[in-house]
Amino acid sequence: MVVRSGSEGTDAIRLDQVQIAELRELMAEDFDLLLETFLSDGEVRVAELASLVGNPEALRRAAHSLKGGASNIGAVALTALCLHLESLGAADAADAAHALVRAIRTEFDAVRDALTQLRH
């Protein structure tokens, strides 16, 4: 099963179900803890992004960190959005950064909902 992201007219894969299945098998009873850790850490990082838009280096680091967690959990569309935010240049990027931060918030919320359904 492929869970797709329908936000902003995209058809990006929201969750890589093969990766999720592999994580579930590998982590066994710790799978729910993995999800809880990603979601709680991710919530903090997503909230932090908006306050960092005026600080390109700190924003890049925060986006990189969230991208790593999203990639590890199989959140494909969220990973791509974070990569885009991470790669923004400092010059004239504030408007683009604000738009990406909003898109990341929306996608993170959708990923949270999808992952919550996967918990035991």
Specify the higher pLDDT residue, 103 or 13: 103
**Is-contact 97 66, C-beta < 8 A?**
no
Would the pTM count as exceeding 0.75? yes
pLDDT of residue 81: 97
Kindly state the helix (H) or strand (E) to which residue 9 belongs, with its residue range.
none
Cα–Cα distance between 81 and 93 in angstroms, integer?
15
| Confidence band, pLDDT 50/70/90 cuts, at residue 11 | very low
| Confidence band, pLDDT 50/70/90 cuts, at residue 8 | very low
- 3-state DSSP helix/strand/coil % of the chain, to nearest 5: 75, 5, 20
Which of 61-65, 68-72, 86-90, 104-108 bottoms out in mean pLDDT, i.e. has the lowest?
A: 86-90
For residues 34, 77, 46 and 86, what is the CA-based torsion angle, rounded to 10 degrees?
120
**Domain ranges for the chain:** 3-118
CATH class for the domain made up of 3-118: mainly alpha
Q: Give the distance from CA 86 to its chain's centroid.
A: 12
Instruction: Return the structure tokens found at 59.
Output: 């924003």
